[in-house]
Structure 1
Amino acid sequence: MTMRQQYDVIVVGAGSMGMSAGYELARRGLKTLLIDAFDPPHAMGSHHGEPRLIRHAYSGGPTYVKLALRADERWRELEAATGEKLLERSGVLNIADPNVYSYEGRFPDAANYGVRIEDLTARDIRERWPGVVVPDHYRAMFEPDAGYLYSEKCITAYRKLAVEAGARLLTNTFVTGIRPEKAFVTVTTGEESYIADQVVLTAGAWYRSFASLIDVPVRAVRKVVGWFRPENDSFDAGSFPGFTYGDASGGYYGFPSIGGAGVKIGRHDGGVPWQPGEPLEPFGAYPDDEADLRAALEAFLPGAAGELIRGVACKYEITPDEDFLIDAHPEHPNVLLAGGFSGHGFKFASAVGELLADRIELGSWGRDIDLFSLSRFSPTKSTNSL
């Protein structure tokens, strides 16, 4: 085994959070190494399949709302730096059966932080978007300034800028060991070994691979999304918003038909457990893969429930309470942890990368993120190395 040169920071996992952090670190002049088991953007994690919703009137209180607004600023800065269109202001229509879920708890935070929202009745919804079919007692919260991000383009943009800023990126490289010491951390990849002052672990759905270093309750599940052919152009991007939908059957999210790709829909809850190293069964491996998504469309967007154009399987990585994990290792402060983002995390990637870079460069997170602390989980097993 050969010892490579030392870095200021090594980022293990260069997906959405890791690539954002790598760019932030490199542009600040820190000698940065990014290592990914694949070649991002790729289809082995949680970021493929393009659009991801970005919303600001968020559940979870001010921590999320302020972080979402900061993330929005950072996405616009990324657009300016690359000249790429990464964010579409389509608006997001959040529909719910009030017997199951209410958005009213978000209204005070929206007012406090200047987030524009509209409280809509079922009649309002049907009049503005005739393709939506909802019972009379349903309600919706519409965010006109929300929209969606082109996830793969975002990661490609961060990758380009990170490398231009001096970061080194190792692709198709599995990390086989992380050994923290008091003054440095050693990271091994097969026959090679690297050392750094600090390490950022952003392993996504592969977090369980590092359980011997830090046993955190981040689990991975197989999820599916599908694109369906609408019956007319009323569901096209530019006239139809991004959306979420919740009733007794579950919670769903989706997007208008972008460039004729079809209306995209996925389900937030549920999923099949997955472990790192296991094969990911493709879309259609389970009868419910298409049937579940189609049933939701038939219930509230029947005009979009046409032919299945495409379906893909991906991975969620989630914590028990579905809040993020952003913290330092309890025994090794030179190892930072960031995980549990899937399902609602991509929109925050630009701000999370900044948080991690602030912690490394300045010694503090730069904002109150106690909500994401590791200490909320107990017990937590940790050891000295992987």
Structure 2
Amino acid sequence: MKQSFDVIVVGAGSMGMSAGYHLAKRGIRTLLIDSFDPPHEQGSHHGEPRLIRHAYSGGASYVSLALEADRLWLELEEASNQKLLVRSGVLNMADRALFKFQARIEDAGRAGVRVEWLDAAEIRHRWPAVRLPETYEAMYEPDAGYLFSERCVAEYRKLALVEGATILPYTPVEQIWSEGSGIRVRTRVGEFAADQTIISAGAWFKTLEPFVTLPIRAVRKTVGWFRSEPGLFDAGAFPGFTLGTDNGGYYGFPSIDGAGIKLGRHDGGLPWLPGETAAPFGHLEQDEGDLRQTLENYMPQAAGALLRGAVCKYELTPDEHFIIDRHPVHSNVILAGGFSGHGFKFSSAVGAVLADLIEGKKPSVDLGMFALSRFDTISL
């Protein structure tokens, strides 16, 4: 195996694998290194599917990034001849005392994204199995939906290899350092050199300190699949959804091929550090209990038997916005992290943005809000 490349990507999950594909497709000699064998169950991309929405909170940068990501997912579908994106629609519901959708609806209108505002009565009319108090309202996106996340990563991997990328799985990175005008990476199978490096290590960034120290904390998160009444919550009849309640924020998916309605909680989670064993689903009573209680309150006909539970990891920044920026000391190192449990949908576009930065091109999306400099307490 050769030891020198144009670019080394450290962390080949959703963002890293997308970047590796886009780099290799542009003729850039690329090595992707991962501690596991992507797609795998040690990060944030397993346990399909993932929502993709376009009318996004956080402003125009997210909306434009979501639209570009959508375009690139369709491009990946065509290149791989695989179905990756399902336009199920996404129903975003919340108690108006906690969250109002007006700003998102206005941003969507400026970007040409189709949305509808619905009150509780209209929600119940369209989806009778949803039980919401009158204080709830919703923003419905008919063109949104969900992505088969593991399939997406697998297809990017296949195509990256076709384009000439090299992938080194089951290979933890032991050290990164600057040497001359380049970067060196040490692993248990040897050292590798590159002109530039992308670090997209997800919840594992702490293993790369002190070369890079980011304000990212990792937490253990759980999701569950529950048996639902036939027909009411099946894919094709029920949309993806988010639900903002006074007991937390939730997200979910219809029952796909009888797998059961999937529900997860966005907030909360237990602290986790690399090297620790994340407790399996069911270790804590609230792993199932919190999800079940939410279904019983708002979608009782979907609160059947638990069919499956899974554990994943969030990598959270203090403001839950991403970090996409150059290393403040080493300008030939690009950092992509802190995707905070809502990043997967953007990974097709983030990979292309990272490839643009490697080539010295101005990305088509404004990255200002993702700058590392917004955290004034960081130490590197």
- Between 363-372 and 275-284, the greater mean CA deviation after superposition: 363-372
Question: Letter of the aligned partner of 2:129 in structure 1?
Answer: G
Partners of 1:366 and 1:61 in 2: how far apart? 16
Partners of 2:272 and 2:205 in 1: how far apart? 12
* Residue 243 of structure 1: aligned partner: 241
- Between 249-258 and 201-210, the greater mean CA deviation after superposition: 201-210
* Residue 136 of structure 2: aligned partner: 138
* Residue 191 of structure 2: aligned partner: 193
* Residue 62 of structure 1: aligned partner: 60
1:151 and 2:163 correspond: no
* Residue 297 of structure 1: aligned partner: 295
Partners of 2:62 and 2:178 in 1: how far apart? 31
SS of residue matched to 1:169: strand
User: Are the aligned partners of 1:57 and 1:106 in contact in 2 as well (CA < 8 Å)?
Assistant: yes
Question: Letter of the aligned partner of 2:205 in structure 1?
Answer: Y
SS of residue matched to 2:9: strand
Pair 1:182–1:60, CA change in 2 (3 A): farther
Partners of 2:274 and 2:361 in 1: how far apart? 32
Partners of 1:303 and 1:77 in 2: how far apart? 37
User: Are the aligned partners of 1:46 and 1:342 in contact in 2 as well (CA < 8 Å)?
Assistant: no
- Between 173-182 and 305-314, the greater mean CA deviation after superposition: 173-182
Task: State the shift of 1:269 in Å.
Answer: 0.1
- RMSD over aligned CA atoms reads 1.0
User: Are the aligned partners of 2:174 and 2:208 in contact in 1 as well (CA < 8 Å)?
Assistant: no
User: Are the aligned partners of 1:182 and 1:332 in contact in 2 as well (CA < 8 Å)?
Assistant: no
* Residue 233 of structure 1: aligned partner: 231
What count of residue pairs does the alignment treat as equivalent?
380
1:101 to 91, 99, 113: 99
SS of residue matched to 1:19: helix
User: Are the aligned partners of 2:317 and 2:340 in contact in 1 as well (CA < 8 Å)?
Assistant: no
User: Are the aligned partners of 1:230 and 1:303 in contact in 2 as well (CA < 8 Å)?
Assistant: yes
Q: Deviations over 1:349-385 (max 9, x none)?
A: 0000000000111343343111000000122222xxx
TM-score (structure 2 length as normaliser): 0.99
Which 4+ stretches in 1 moved above 2 angstroms?
362-367
Q: Deviations over 1:242-268 (max 9, x none)?
A: 000001100000000000000000000
Question: Letter of the aligned partner of 2:320 in structure 1?
Answer: E
Percent identity, aligned pairs only, is 60
Question: Letter of the aligned partner of 1:77 in structure 2?
Answer: E
* Residue 167 of structure 2: aligned partner: 169
2:306 to 308, 333, 340: 308
Question: Letter of the aligned partner of 2:246 in structure 1?
Answer: A
1:71 and 2:69 correspond: yes
Partners of 1:104 and 1:366 in 2: how far apart? 26
SS of residue matched to 1:214: coil
User: Are the aligned partners of 2:181 and 2:195 in contact in 1 as well (CA < 8 Å)?
Assistant: yes
Partners of 2:365 and 2:145 in 1: how far apart? 25
* Residue 317 of structure 1: aligned partner: 315
* Residue 278 of structure 2: aligned partner: 280
Partners of 2:16 and 2:233 in 1: how far apart? 34
* Residue 86 of structure 2: aligned partner: 88
- Between 95-104 and 13-22, the greater mean CA deviation after superposition: 95-104
Partners of 2:54 and 2:343 in 1: how far apart? 12
* Residue 354 of structure 2: aligned partner: 356
SS of residue matched to 1:154: helix
Question: Letter of the aligned partner of 2:133 in structure 1?
Answer: P
Write the mapping of 1:8-27 to structure 2, written as runs, cut at 5 A: 8-27=6-25
User: Are the aligned partners of 2:281 and 2:309 in contact in 1 as well (CA < 8 Å)?
Assistant: yes
1:6 and 2:4 correspond: yes
SS of residue matched to 2:55: coil
Q: Deviations over 1:98-138 (max 9, x none)?
A: 01111111111111000000000100000000010001121
Extract unaligned runs of 5+ from structure 2.
none
Partners of 1:142 and 1:366 in 2: how far apart? 27
TM-score (structure 1 length as normaliser): 0.97
SS of residue matched to 2:232: helix
* Residue 183 of structure 1: aligned partner: 181
Write the mapping of 1:213-224 to structure 2, written as runs, cut at 5 A: 213-224=211-222
Partners of 1:364 and 1:68 in 2: how far apart? 18
SS of residue matched to 1:233: coil
SS of residue matched to 1:77: helix
1:202 and 2:197 correspond: no
Question: Letter of the aligned partner of 2:76 in structure 1?
Answer: L
Extract unaligned runs of 5+ from structure 1.
none
